[in-house]
Structure 1
Amino acid sequence: MLDPMGPSESSKRFGNTSLPMPTLGFGAATLGNLYRAMTDAEADSTLDAALNAGINYFDTAPHYGFGLSESRLGSQLAAKREQLIISSKVGRLLVPTTSSDSIRHGFVDTPALEPVFDYSYDAVMRSFESSLQRLKTNYIDILFAHDLGSLTHGEQHAQHFREFFEGGYRAMNELRAAGVVKAIGLGTNEWEVCEQALAHGDFDGFLLAGRYSLLEQSPCDSFFPLCKKRGVSIISGGPFNSGILASGVSGAGPFYYNYEPAPLHIIERVKQLEIICAEFSVPLPAAALQFPGAHPQVCSVIAGLASPAQVEQAIIWMNYSIPQEFWQRLRERNLLHPDAPTPF
Structure 2
Amino acid sequence: MSTSQPRQTLQLPTIVLGGSGFSYQVHPNPKSVPVSKIIRHAFDVGIRAIDTSPYYDPSEHLLGEALVSPDVASRYSRSDYVLMTKVGRISVDNFDYSPEWVRESVRTSLERLRTTYLDAVFCHDIEFVTIPEAIEAVGTLFELSMKGLVRYVGVSGYDLDRLVYVAHAVREKYGRSLDVVQNWAQLTMQNTRLERYGIPALKEAGVPVICNSSPLASGLLRASGVPLGTLGDWHPAPNGLRVAVKRASDWVETQDTTLAGLALRFSVARATRASQNGVSVHTLLGICSINDIEENVRAVRSILVLEPAVGDGVNNSNVTISHLKSLNEAVEQRDLVLSQTVRQILGDWAEYDFNKGPVKQTVLPWWPGLSAGISAGVLVVGISFLLFSRTSFSMFLNHVRS
TM-score interval for Structure 1 and Structure 2 normalised by the shorter chain: 0.7 to 0.9
CA deviations over 1:105-160 (Å, ceiling 9, x no partner): 5xxxxxxxxx83111111111111111111111111111000111xxx3xxx4xx3
Aligned to 1:228: 203
1:241 counterpart = 2:217: yes
SS where residue 126 of structure 2 aligns?
coil
1:338 counterpart = 2:307: no
Distance in 2 (CA, whole Å) between partners of 1:146 and 1:327 is 33
Aligned to 2:283: 301
Change (3 A) 1:273 1:308: closer
Letter paired with 1:306? C
Correspondence for 1:311 among 289, 293, 298: 293
Q: Is the 8 A contact 2:33 2:289 kept in 1?
A: no
Correspondence for 1:198 among 163, 167, 170: 167
Aligned to 1:5: none
Correspondence for 2:95 among 111, 117, 127: 117
Correspondence for 2:244 among 265, 268, 276: 268
Change (3 A) 1:270 1:219: farther
SS where residue 20 of structure 1 aligns?
coil
More displaced 10-residue stretch of structure 1: 233-242 or 15-24: 15-24
The structure carrying a bigger strand percent of its residues is 1
Change (3 A) 1:16 1:236: farther
Q: Quote the offset at 1:290 in angstroms.
A: 2.5
Q: Is the 8 A contact 1:215 1:269 kept in 2?
A: no
Distance in 2 (CA, whole Å) between partners of 1:331 and 1:63 is 34
Distance in 1 (CA, whole Å) between partners of 2:107 and 2:243 is 43
Distance in 1 (CA, whole Å) between partners of 2:11 and 2:282 is 10
Distance in 1 (CA, whole Å) between partners of 2:257 and 2:342 is 18
Q: What TM-score, normalized to structure 1? A: 0.75
Distance in 1 (CA, whole Å) between partners of 2:115 and 2:339 is 45
1:86 counterpart = 2:83: yes
Q: CA RMSD in A?
A: 3.1
Aligned to 1:325: 333
CA deviations over 1:79-130 (Å, ceiling 9, x no partner): 4321110110011358xxxxxxxxxx5xxxxxxxxx8311111111111111
Letter paired with 1:311? I
Change (3 A) 1:244 1:32: closer
Matches within 5 A, 1:1-344: 17-35=8-26, 36-39=28-31, 42-65=34-57, 68-78=58-68, 79=73, 80-93=77-90, 116-149=94-127, 153=128, 157=129, 160-165=130-135, 167-201=136-170, 202-232=177-207, 233-247=209-223, 259-260=235-236, 262-265=238-241, 267-268=243-244, 271-272=247-248, 275=251, 278-279=254-255, 281-292=256-267, 293-294=271-272, 295-296=274-275, 297-321=279-303, 323-330=331-338, 335=343, 337-338=363-364
Distance in 1 (CA, whole Å) between partners of 2:24 and 2:227 is 21
Letter paired with 1:23? T
CA deviations over 1:188-220 (Å, ceiling 9, x no partner): 122121112123112112111112211101233
Aligned residues: 295
Distance in 2 (CA, whole Å) between partners of 1:41 and 1:338 is 40
Q: Quote the offset at 1:274 in angstroms.
A: 5.6
Letter paired with 1:86? L
Q: Is the 8 A contact 2:13 2:46 kept in 1?
A: no
Aligned to 2:325: none
Structure 1 segments of 4 or more deviating over 4 A? 253-258, 330-334, 339-344
Distance in 2 (CA, whole Å) between partners of 1:311 and 1:180 is 30
Letter paired with 2:119? D
Distance in 1 (CA, whole Å) between partners of 2:106 and 2:264 is 31
Distance in 1 (CA, whole Å) between partners of 2:296 and 2:197 is 30
Distance in 1 (CA, whole Å) between partners of 2:240 and 2:32 is 39
SS where residue 224 of structure 1 aligns?
helix
SS where residue 34 of structure 2 aligns?
helix
Change (3 A) 1:329 1:16: farther
Distance in 1 (CA, whole Å) between partners of 2:49 and 2:226 is 31
Ranges in structure 1 where 5+ consecutive residues have no aligned partner:
1-14, 95-104, 106-114
Change (3 A) 1:176 1:288: same
Change (3 A) 1:273 1:182: same
